[in-house]
Amino acid sequence: MASDTDTAKPRRLWTGGRWRWLPGSRLGRQIIVLNMLGLAILIAGSLVMNELRRGLVNARIDSLTTQGELITTIIDQAATVGEPVPAMDAGYASQLLQMLSNPKTQRARLFDAQGRLLADSDWVADRVESKALPPARAKGDLRQPFANPEAAPRISLAAQRALALEVRAAQQGRHVAGMRRGDDGERVVSVSIPIQHVQAVLGVLTLEASDVDQIIAAERAALAPFILIAIGVMVLSSLMLNSLIARPVRTLARAADRVRLSRARAISLPEIAGRDDELGDLTRSLQDMTQALSERMDAIERFAADVAHEIKNPLTSMRSAVETLDLVSDPVARERLLHVLKNDVSRLDRLVTDISNASRLDAELSREDPRALDLGRLLAEVAQLYADTRRPDEIPVDFEAEDSLEPPLILGREGPISQVFRNLIDNARSFSPPGGQVHVALARAGGEIMVTVEDQGPGIPPDNLETVFERFYTSRPRGAVFGGNSGLGLSIARQIVEAHSGRILAENLRDGSGQVRGARFRVCLPEARH
């Protein structure tokens, strides 16, 4: 089937003029690509924004550092007094800070050598801090105006502690730069630079830029298109997966339900079966499976009808004999009717036995796994069994095998295979005349093991060379016992041979003058080595 061949083929990286850059199944590649595409877009956007934010923050630190170094140099040169122990003129240094700082974009603070605050650009700019008022309360509402009134003092205290640590580090003569929280909880880029005269630290200048939140907000706004694109890709991929997988699977489930509820005999979905992916393979496999089940059901129905017909014949004969038996007083006639009844009972027993064997055949074939069998040894044992149990008036069986160093091996099940040749030998013995012989031969032919079973009977009518393998077909020579055969032996033999990927044929043997001198059945089974 298509699914067997498609799934068994190795996946190549170059097929049909295009690269299969991702190994695996086609449907699996589609699922992986569609789900990873949106994530990749979001990750790429995040990386770009992170790099942009890092670059902006670093640029802001560099700018503040350059400006702070310029201010500290001027203060050191102009506001340093005292020899040999230098000191910073606090008043003059504050005036210089007022002239040099830019309070519109940043905040500058000046600390002395002990960490006391000397000047703040917010003082110079007379900046007024404003905050939004909380919503008005209803009369009698005693609840606090803020959800957490202690949050603001905690934030301010933490900001003062972080600033103190930064100033203390700068007092040791190190440049300190980084990001921390301001008094109102917003993030600020801060640079603290020591004011040094030779080796003495006279004070600390701290510059803060509070536009970090605006920068981050702008970055988030720039990330929004990537997020929207990723969401769009994920939605599109979900819709495509729903169309490519969910709907076809639901269609397959409904088709299977129709078969289960006996509203249909087989699944037929050509639009899905034509797909070149796993769902196409699954659909084709289900179609083949349900078609085989439908054919099996038809065969069972035909088999049931044939069984009913074959069983009805001896029953009808028995009924007639029983009804006539009470009306016949002649002992000879009664004996003849009793003989008919015995023959019909024997025929009915043989029919039931053969029908039971035929009905169990499929289960027996599926229950046992095939294995390597030495067909020459098996045929020799079958022929020896006939020789050991043969009565003087029965037809002998002769077996001949070609000389070979390698045993003729096939993959099969020993029980059913031996039943094939027993049925053929029994059929050949039933047609052979008294004094005749059944000849069994084994040979190799073109990668196959061929077994022939020949008799010396009247042969097979040319029009019946194929119909002899049909169920309940019987064509006996004149004088043969009526009802001695059920007509299932050759049908069972063909069913077993075809289950082993072989074939069975019937033909007539002719002499030099063209006269029929017997029948031959040929069984061809694939050799295990091939």
- How many residues make up the chain in this entry? 530
- For residues 390-413, average pLDDT: 86
Percent of the chain with pLDDT over 70: 79
Whether pLDDT at 442 is above 90: yes
Of 45 and 353, more confident:
353
Query: What's the confidence (pLDDT) of residue 118?
Result: 85
Query: What's the confidence (pLDDT) of residue 229?
Result: 81
Whether pLDDT at 506 is above 90: yes
Angle among Cα 296, 298, 304 to the nearest 5 degrees reads: 100
Strands 516-526, 448-454: pairing kind: antiparallel
Give the confidence band of 464 by pLDDT, cuts at 50, 70, 90: confident
* AA letter at 82: G
Whether pLDDT at 307 is above 60: yes
Whether pLDDT at 25 is above 60: no
Query: What's the confidence (pLDDT) of residue 266?
Result: 81
Give the confidence band of 13 by pLDDT, cuts at 50, 70, 90: very low
Q: What is the DSSP string of 315-378?
A: HHHHHHHHHHHTT---HHHHHHHHHHHHHHHHHHHHHHHHHHHHHHHHHHHHHS--EEEEHHHH
Buried b (16+ CB within 10 A) or exposed e, 90-114: eeebbebbeebbebeebbbbbbbee
Query: What's the confidence (pLDDT) of residue 30?
Result: 67
Whether pLDDT at 165 is above 80: yes
Of 269 and 478, more confident:
269
Please name the residue that has the structure tokens 């095939």. 370
pLDDT in tens, 402-437: 877 788 899 988 888 988 999 899 888 888 888 889
Whether pLDDT at 284 is above 70: yes
Query: What's the confidence (pLDDT) of residue 170?
Result: 84
Q: Are 185 and 61 in contact (CB under 8 A)?
A: no
Partners of 88 in beta bridges: 80
Whether pLDDT at 166 is above 80: yes
Of 396 and 472, more confident:
396
Query: What's the confidence (pLDDT) of residue 27?
Result: 59
**Residue 240, Cα to own-chain centre: how many angstroms?**
18
Tokens for 162, please give them: 């972080």
Q: Are 192 and 8 in contact (CB under 8 A)?
A: no
Q: What is the mean pLDDT of the chain?
A: 78
Q: What is the DSSP string of 90-116?
A: HHHHHHHHHHH--TTT-EEEEEETTS-
Whether pLDDT at 487 is above 80: no
pLDDT in tens, 336-382: 888 888 888 887 887 787 777 777 776 666 677 788 999 999 999 99
